[in-house]
Amino acid sequence: MSEKYNLPESWETVLLIDVLELNPAKLVISTDDESHFVFVPMSAVSAEFGGIDVSGKRPYREVKKGYTQFQAADVLFAKITPCMENGKIAVVPELDSQVGYGSTEFHVLRSLMHVDPKWIAYYLSQSSVRRDAKRNMTGSAGQLRVPKRWLEKLRIPIAPLKEQKRIVEKIEELFSELDAGVAALERAKTKLKRYRASVLKAAVHGSLTADWRSKHPEVEPASQLLERILAERRRKWEEEQLAKFETAGKKPPKDWRERYKEPFTPDPSELPELPKSWCWASVDQMGEVQLGRQRSPQKRSKDYPTKYIRAANITEEGIDTSNILEMEFTPSEVDRFRMKKGDLVVSEASGSSNQVGKPAIWNNELPVCCFQNTVIRLRPEGVRSDYLLVILKHCYSNKVFAKIAGGVGINHLGATKFSRIPIPLAPASEQVEIANEVERQLSILKKSEEMIEANLVRASRNRQSILQRAFEGKLAPQDPNDEPANILLERIRSEQARTHATISKPRRKGTRKMKERLPISGVIEKHPKGATPEVVFAEAGLNGEELNDVDQFYSELDQLVSKRSVEVIRPDSKSVIIKPRTK
């Protein structure tokens, strides 16, 4: 093992840019504007190096300017947050054209010969590498990007080419097994989600407690419960109005009772049939519906700083108090907007309609807390809070709220629309049974979900452990017959130098005298103390102007190394010496 990098002796560690082209220049394409090319938006690249969809196409006129160009076998590395952190990395598969195009938020890494593109992609997909990339991001919040210079300074271990391929093959074999397990876990998650929805549906339709009803036929029907709830609400309103008249020193007018506004009543003829002892009601009939106080600069905390919840604090697990904000609520506003134990809250607004109406119950998580206008509060009157929570969870999971939410950009439920939603009302004693049975079944589901999540986390850790072992040289065995990485890197440097020379130096006119071609074994024998590859290359009569000179040189050298006729020594990180092997 190399002491410096704790790697196998046949490996080397180099700068990433030593083995690839970073964001190479675009090829000039000769085509018409209507020709279609593969187009890869960020959404077409899966997280955690999970694949790439190259089925999308766009005409050349749309992509020739302003988009990233790539070729088959290029590595695409997402540079913007959070795509980079999520592991949006891909190796471009074979294309039906010379190039493809994609989002400008990709860095393109074009591997040079002798380094497998997947080797580079898997290295970059390590969570440790991505964490370092995140620490070096530049830009403003929400627009942070991995700069090119971070990639230019990144070092990467390089194994012999044959070993690279063995390691990549082993990674994919092990990942395939992990992926099969993860897919099974994800299917189980989906089934649990469907089962959760079916439990809630059975609860609100009455089938969950059908056996209970058959054993308890003599219960007060829900219709009588509803009449009592509505009568009590009217009685309280009348008491409040009389108290106001008395405080003002006024006599109530003759028609003052007619000012009472009855809660919205749904039309049962347009709704599904319920169990005999149940009835339809509206959210409005179940209690007081209140939209929260609007947040504004004038309401910043000053004299009466008060904690409040907003839509972001409502989760499927309940109220999250880890990020509670404060704003100004006067004493009278606190009286109106303060939360009480048993209050139900739903998210009124969200960028996604599927997140509108997410419900939770307030259990005095904080001593004094109000709510903002991205939240609707329902304060139940005469109905159990835990029963109503079951109903609201059903409406949320079955997209009832999502279907009635509206708005451009931000979806709003609205207090009025929420209050008019019809809900099935069960008898008071059956409400207890429904709430308890739902809680029992959902708690079992939660334990199963937690077990699945733990296994998914374990699978993710195993994936990273596999990658760590791979790039430490511990995943696949080393073969002493493999060409060492230092020879591979020297070949890359020579090819880069030859390419640069070919581009930068024009070929002289006229004919040149061909130098006699000598076998490189004979040249090496003339240098018992060793010679550099450049010396051997030149004395063998090779000059690099022919395209196959370098390949022929290293092919012969590989044969001599495998026959143990010569040895390649690297006295330091920049030097290579070839010498005859001592017999």
For residue 355, give the CATH number of its domain.
3.90.220.20
Beta bridge pairs of residue 307: 326
Beta bridge pairs of residue 377: 290, 345
| Domain presence at residue 408 | yes
Find the mean pLDDT for residues 131-154: 93
- CA atoms in the 13 A half-sphere facing the CB of 241: 17
Same domain, 365 and 281: yes
Angle between helix axes 428-470 and 117-124 (nearest 10 degrees) is: 130
Find the mean pLDDT for residues 132-152: 93
Q: Please report, to the nearest 10 degrees, the dihedral formed by the alpha carbons of residues 47, 53, 59, 62 taken in order.
A: 0
Same domain, 335 and 367: yes
| Domain presence at residue 399 | yes
Q: What pLDDT was estimated at residue 574?
A: 57
Least reliable range by pLDDT among 49-53, 136-140, 391-395, 536-540: 536-540
- Read off the pTM: 0.71
* Residue 389: CB atoms within 10 Å: 21
User: pLDDT tier at 301 (50, 70, 90 boundaries)?
Assistant: low
Find the mean pLDDT for residues 335-339: 95
Same domain, 365 and 501: no
Same domain, 236 and 293: yes
User: pLDDT tier at 3 (50, 70, 90 boundaries)?
Assistant: very low
Same domain, 118 and 178: no
Apex CA 418: angle with CA 415 and CA 420, to 5°?
110
| Domain presence at residue 261 | no
Distance CA 523, CA 525 (A): 5
Find the mean pLDDT for residues 57-79: 95
Looking at every residue in the chain, the average pLDDT score rounds to 90
Q: What pLDDT was estimated at residue 532?
A: 85
Q: What pLDDT was estimated at residue 5?
A: 52
Q: What pLDDT was estimated at residue 503?
A: 47
Distance CA 539, CA 64 (A): 47
Burial of 500 (C-beta count, 10 Å sphere; 0-12/13-18/19+): exposed
Q: How many domains in the chain?
A: 4
Same domain, 449 and 521: no
User: pLDDT tier at 511 (50, 70, 90 boundaries)?
Assistant: very low
Residue 577 has pLDDT above 50, yes or no: yes
Same domain, 334 and 347: yes
Which residues have a Cβ under 8 Å from the Cβ of 73 and sit 6 or more positions away? 91, 92, 110, 111, 117
| Domain presence at residue 1 | no
Residue 528 has pLDDT above 90, yes or no: no
Same domain, 433 and 415: no
| Domain presence at residue 257 | no
Render pLDDT for 362-421 as a digit per residue (tens, 0 to 9).
Answer: 999 999 999 999 999 999 999 999 999 999 999 999 899 999 998 878 899 999 999 999
Residue 339 has pLDDT above 80, yes or no: yes
| Alpha helices by DSSP H, 20-93 | 60-63
Same domain, 134 and 174: no
Q: Please report, to the nearest 10 degrees, the dihedral formed by the alpha carbons of residues 336, 339, 343, 347 taken in order.
A: 90
Same domain, 271 and 409: yes
| Domain presence at residue 20 | yes
Residue 108 has pLDDT above 80, yes or no: yes
| Domain presence at residue 254 | no
Distance CA 354, CA 405 (A): 9
Residue 561 has pLDDT above 80, yes or no: no
* Residue 338: CB atoms within 10 Å: 16
Angstrom distances, CA of residue 189 to CA of 195, 404, 525: 10, 27, 68
Same domain, 272 and 410: yes
Cβ contact 92:70 at 8 Å = yes
Amino acid identity of residue 251, one-letter, is K
Q: Which segments within 391-512 are labelled E, that is strand?
A: 411-412, 422-425
| Domain presence at residue 376 | yes
| Residues spanned by the domain of 177 | 160-214+428-478
Render pLDDT for 193-237 as a digit per residue (tens, 0 to 9).
Answer: 999 999 999 999 999 999 999 999 999 999 999 999 999 999 999
Residue 570 has pLDDT above 80, yes or no: no
Find the mean pLDDT for residues 163-179: 96
Q: What pLDDT was estimated at residue 298?
A: 60
Render pLDDT for 315-335 as a digit per residue (tens, 0 to 9).
Answer: 999 999 999 999 999 999 999
Same domain, 291 and 409: yes
User: pLDDT tier at 137 (50, 70, 90 boundaries)?
Assistant: very high
Residue 148 has pLDDT above 60, yes or no: yes
Render pLDDT for 240-267 as a digit per residue (tens, 0 to 9).
Answer: 999 999 999 999 998 999 999 999 999 9
Least reliable range by pLDDT among 54-63, 161-170, 401-410: 401-410
Domain boundary among 112, 135, 158: 158
Distance CA 163, CA 8 (A): 11
CATH number at residue 208: 1.10.287
Nearest by Cα to 525 from 564, 567, 579, 576? 579
